Structure 1
Amino acid sequence: MSHPLGYYSRTWDINFSQCYANGKLKYSEISNLFQITAGEHAEALDFSFQTMLTFNQAWVMSRMRIELNKLPKLGDQVELTTWIQDFDGARSTRNFTISKDGVTYISGSSYWAVINFKLRKSENLAINTDHVKLFPSHQATAFPVDKLNIFQACETVDSHRVRLSDLDVVRHVNNVKYVDWCLDQLDIEDVLQKPIASIAMNFLRELTYDDIAEIQHQQQENVHFMRIQRTGKVAFAMELTFSK
């Protein structure tokens, strides 16, 4: 049951468009479900996208960590629960779990920033949040969402020109797209058959229409580090760890 001022839950039915060829939920779709449910919770808390739009503001994800025990599959009905761990006016940590029949399949933690999308800079949320209930001691993941070392040596493996289908409502590349671009560089059978234990992501700079992004990769045993950059500046970094 949802409680708008505290924990917020909703049920999702996993459909075919959300799944890989193996019938399991896409890793990028986890981020998408997190985004949508966070947006619904924000609407219940009276700082939805439409409300923030009147102040030229929007929430932008800065970091995310996902820890996986099991992937939901086609036809599964899962419960996604989210809550706000902390909030300081311009930044917020939000947590997630995806469970089925009371068993937690996926845990996530995310770090968000408020930006003025006209000025393209961070600023304090213009909406009062005194009514928001926080859960500072309830962290969903075993490890906190954190900064990655983005200066690792990598090999450029592909490039991508940003198109209309990559953009979201604030006219920059949505985080779901970065995950897909990176996973498309890995061996298909590894992605489909080998379980992934965790995915850590940092969103550092926005990419916009017609930008050309370099996709870079480094592997050390079961850990893949991937980086997307434009003109030498890193826009996105991801560390993906396969289960041993």
Structure 2
Amino acid sequence: MPTPLIWSEPFAIRSYEVGPDERASVLTLCDLLQEAAGEHARAAGKDGFSLPNGSWATWVLSRLALEVDRRPRLRERLEVETWPADLDGLRATRDFVVTGGDGVRLASATSQWFLIDVERRRPIRLPRSMDGFSVPDKPRALVLEGEPVAPATVEHQATFRVRRSDLDRVGHANNVRFIEWALEALPSDVGLEGVDVLYRAEAVYGDEVASQAGPLVDGERYHRLARVSDDRTLALARTRWTASTESS
């Protein structure tokens, strides 16, 4: 039986995925999105591709945007619905809708991915086997806005060392860790409603990463992650906050 193009993955929020308020963080939601996407690709036989040069290709996230309506509670059962929304030859777009145990939408997200030759660390064109693996007629879960930019001024800053526990199966820092570093530079993450991350370069074990955050203006804040050794931009992000969030 063919794998459905619209995939649903159930989850339950576990005790180690919540904070003091007994609700899952935005980071946990991002982890669940990544897991659902991976399970769909695996079931469809599209989680990796052999290449003529003897190497293999795997998916790398280039952008992720998430808007949160409500963070799920401890032990709440939820469902992540995900589907490939578009293909453009080089990138694949995948959308997500998260619903809670009451059936009400908790979060919406969209993402862009490309394939890299793992050996050469270079992007490749999508293979012909990806043709037709999209649902272009389904309403988009979230529409991307203009790309995040570096903050004009730096209000908060912190540095982090990439640990072994930060690495994924390809050997670079997991994409959710980038979001963690962006938020960890701030005095608080209370009031976070959304995040939009543009990934520019990989971080590997031992890299020192500088997390820079600009001031909160009209409910939004811009972030830059850079490798300290050469000041190369690793990611740019925009976060969205509730109106009551303090700017300090």
- Written as runs of structure 1 = structure 2, the 5 A alignment for 1:73-112 is 73-100=73-100, 101-112=102-113
Q: Corresponding residue for 1:227?
A: 224
| C-alpha displacement of 1:155 | 4.7
| 1:161 and 2:161 matched | yes
| 1:57 and 2:57 matched | yes
Return the letter of the residue paired with 1:181: W
Three-state SS of the structure 2 residue aligned to 1:32 is helix
Contact 1:65 1:108 in 2 (8 A): yes
| C-alpha displacement of 1:237 | 1.6
Contact 1:166 1:173 in 2 (8 A): yes
Contact 2:225 2:236 in 1 (8 A): yes
Q: Whole-Å Cα distance in 1 between the matches of residues 79 and 22 of structure 2?
A: 19
Percent identity between the aligned chains? 26
Q: Whole-Å Cα distance in 2 between the matches of residues 239 and 220 of structure 1?
A: 10
Q: Corresponding residue for 1:200?
A: 196
Could you state the TM-score of these two structures normalised by the residue count of structure 1? 0.89
Return the letter of the residue paired with 2:7: Y
| C-alpha displacement of 1:153 | 2.9
Q: Whole-Å Cα distance in 1 between the matches of residues 233 and 32 of structure 2?
A: 25
Superposed CA offset, 1:55-78 (max 9, x none): 521100001110111111111100
Where structure 2 has 5 or more consecutive residues not aligned to the other structure, the ranges are 244-248
Q: Corresponding residue for 2:38?
A: 39
| C-alpha displacement of 1:20 | 1.6
| C-alpha displacement of 1:136 | 4.8
Contact 1:52 1:58 in 2 (8 A): no
| C-alpha displacement of 1:89 | 3.5
Could you list the structure 1 runs, at least 4 aligned residues long, displaced by more than 3 angstroms after superposition. Answer: 51-55
Three-state SS of the structure 2 residue aligned to 1:154 is coil
| C-alpha displacement of 1:176 | 1.1
Q: Whole-Å Cα distance in 2 between the matches of residues 45 and 164 of structure 1?
A: 30
| 1:13 and 2:12 matched | yes
Return the letter of the residue paired with 1:199: V
Cα 1:116–1:146, aligned 2, differ >3 Å: closer, same or farther? farther
Contact 2:55 2:119 in 1 (8 A): no
Three-state SS of the structure 2 residue aligned to 1:33 is helix
| C-alpha displacement of 1:43 | 1.2
Superposed CA offset, 1:108-142 (max 9, x none): 0001111112111110234612352422552101x
Return the letter of the residue paired with 1:150: A
Where structure 1 has 5 or more consecutive residues not aligned to the other structure, the ranges are none
Cα 1:24–1:122, aligned 2, differ >3 Å: closer, same or farther? same
Cα 1:175–1:137, aligned 2, differ >3 Å: closer, same or farther? same
| 1:214 and 2:210 matched | yes
Q: Corresponding residue for 2:236?
A: 237
How big is the alpha-carbon RMSD for the aligned residues of Structure 1 and Structure 2? 2.0
Contact 1:19 1:74 in 2 (8 A): yes
